[in-house]
Amino acid sequence: MSKELTIEQAVLSENARNAESNRGRFRRAGVHVVNLMSGAGAGKTTLLERTIDKLKDRLRIAVIAGDLETRRDADRIERHGVPVTQINTKGACHIEAHQIADAASEFDLERLELLLIENVGNLVCPAEFDLGEADKIMILSTTEGHDKPGKYPLMFKECRALILNKIDLLPYTNFDTNAAVADAKLLNAKLEFFPLSARTGEGFEVFTDWLEKRAREARRA
């Protein structure tokens, strides 16, 4: 086995231990934790903003925003009146579990019901790093192309839900929704599917109702 592979496996197993520790901590606190992943520009921050507006009077929410270099996303989210903490990955293309452990310490977890993590915009390695979340949600947008499930199978296998964002732009693209969903379901038969537009709000409530239900189930468990 090459040295590089050995190092990668050591990093992943250390991450897995940290993720399990996070998961235990989140369960004890009764907070539902969601890891939002997508490629760059799929609309994660806009989706978070609308999700917060829809749910902040119904659930106690906080956000951990991962970003390569800036605080721009965290600043946008903060304006919606929920606590936000920023992980600056300093160029690294994913968040790791130990960073979530540190960031989560900024909040009173016992008081929270929903903790949303905005991962770094990247379809490859975020799927490999368990953060201790309850659900992974992937956002694909209609401007990206429907061939993504075949290109990034791990991401689709790991997710509980797939959001198809920017459905308002469908008439201007050649995105084939049926093909994308069929390919995604071949990889993950239990995948929930939410077509919506975070910009216009079309289809959004079906998603936030589901998210609220998941958070309430976590609370009861």
68 contacts Zn ion (rule: CB under 5 A): no
Stretch that binds Mg ion, among 15-23, 38-46, 148-156, 188-196 (CB under 5 A): 38-46
Site for Zn ion in 124-143 (CB under 5 A): 125
d(CA 217, CA 211): 10
Say whether residue 109 binds Zn ion (CB under 5 A).
no
CA–CA gap between residue 216 and residue 58 (Å, rounded): 10
Tokens (6 digits) for 11: 């990093």
Which partner in Mg ion, Zn ion, none is near 181 (CB below 5 to 8 A by kind)?
Answer: none
**Using H for helix, E for strand and C for coil, what is the string for 67-103?**
ECCCCHHHHHHHCCCCCEEEEECCCCCCCCHHHHHHH
Q: Which is nearer to Zn ion, 151 or 213 (CB)?
A: 151
Helix (H, G, I), strand (E, B) or coil at 6: helix
Core vs surface per residue 39-59: b (16+ CB within 10 A) or e: beebbbbbbbbbbbebbeeeb
Q: Which is nearer to Mg ion, 44 or 54 (CB)?
A: 44
User: Residues 104 to 143: which contact Mg ion by CB under 5 A?
Assistant: none
Q: Is 50 in the site for Mg ion (CB under 5 A)?
A: no
Residue from 94, 136, 148, 160 that binds Zn ion (CB under 5 A)? 94
Whichever of 124 and 179 has its CB closer to Zn ion, that residue is 124
| Other CB atoms within 10 Å distance of the CB of residue 92 | 15
Q: What six digits make up the tokens of 32?
A: 């539902």
- Closest residue to Mg ion, judged by C-beta, is 45
Residues that bind Zn ion (CB under 5 A): 93-94, 125
Residues that bind Mg ion (CB under 5 A): 44-45, 73
